[in-house]
Amino acid sequence: MSNNVLAIYNSLMGENGNSTALVKQFVQDWQHKHPNSEVTSRDLVQNALPHLSLAEMGAWMTPAEQRNEEQQQLAALSDNLIKELLAHDVIVIGMPLYNFGISSQFKAWLDRIARAGVTFKYTETGPVGLVSGKKVYVLAARGGLYQGTDKDTQTKYLQDFFNFIGISEIEFVYAEALAMGDDSKQQALAAAKQQIQQKIA
């Protein structure tokens, strides 16, 4: 396993996002621990993907050599994102909670990396994930308190999604109560950063 990291940013607030700060902390700690590791950054807000469409799925289902120019461009979106995912063994994801769920930008990324016959396949005994040897870290930033309750729509969803494509090693760090006063925000961010450090150490 290499130590190369795909760092996924996903905050509407950009550089001021709390999840952005957590991912940056992760990358800094990771590079300190693994000085030769390479880090690729992908900002899903700055480089937002369109919603998945029938035309794009049609391009996936058309054999590569038969795709017209538009289909080639459409298929390249997902092809390149999957290639990027497969090229890294560690995926760290900033995960804001927006309106009780993941961001629509992040959903658009998930919609590109779940590809039948490429990242998963269906067999007689059910679906089989085709992505192996990866570890995912999810760094969650939330205004309120959700962890461990059934209002946390992110944890199980992301576990299910990544398990489905073959990634079973997935760890979460939560910074919660970020909108519940400055003290609680500072405490939550400091605790989350400490947890990140511990996970990397």
Ligand X SMILES: Cc1cc2nc3c(=O)[nH]c(=O)nc-3n(C[C@H](O)[C@H](O)[C@H](O)COP(=O)(O)O)c2cc1C
8 contacts ligand X (rule: CB under 6 A): no
**The only residue of 5, 7, 11, 26 in contact with ligand X, by rule CB under 6 A:** 11
| Nearer to ligand X among residue 23 and residue 91 (C-beta) | 23
144 contacts ligand X (rule: CB under 6 A): yes
Nearest to 115 by CA among 87, 156, 153, 74: 74
20 contacts ligand X (rule: CB under 6 A): yes
What are the DSSP calls for 109-124, one per residue?
HHHHH--BTTTEEEET
Span interacting with ligand X, options 46-54, 91-99, 112-120, 191-199, rule CB under 6 A: 91-99
190 contacts ligand X (rule: CB under 6 A): no
Nearest to 146 by CA among 97, 85, 87, 91: 97
**Least distance in Å: CB of 17 to ligand X?**
3
141 contacts ligand X (rule: CB under 6 A): yes
- Token pair, residue 51, equals 């919603």
Tell me if residue 169 falls in helix, strand or coil: strand
| Nearer to ligand X among residue 16 and residue 36 (C-beta) | 16
98 contacts ligand X (rule: CB under 6 A): yes
Tell me if residue 91 falls in helix, strand or coil: strand
**The only residue of 5, 7, 17, 172 in contact with ligand X, by rule CB under 6 A:** 17
Tell me if residue 167 falls in helix, strand or coil: coil
Tell me if residue 20 falls in helix, strand or coil: helix
Span interacting with ligand X, options 12-20, 62-70, 80-88, 106-114, rule CB under 6 A: 12-20
19 is in an annotated binding site: no
115 contacts ligand X (rule: CB under 6 A): no
Beta strands in 34-86 (DSSP E): 39-43
Span interacting with ligand X, options 11-19, 32-40, 110-118, 190-198, rule CB under 6 A: 11-19
Residues 112, 116, 120, 126, CA torsion sign: positive
**Least distance in Å: CB of 146 to ligand X?**
6
The secondary structure of residue 34, as a DSSP letter, is S
107 contacts ligand X (rule: CB under 6 A): no
Amino acid at residue number 54: L
Annotated binding site for FMN: 11
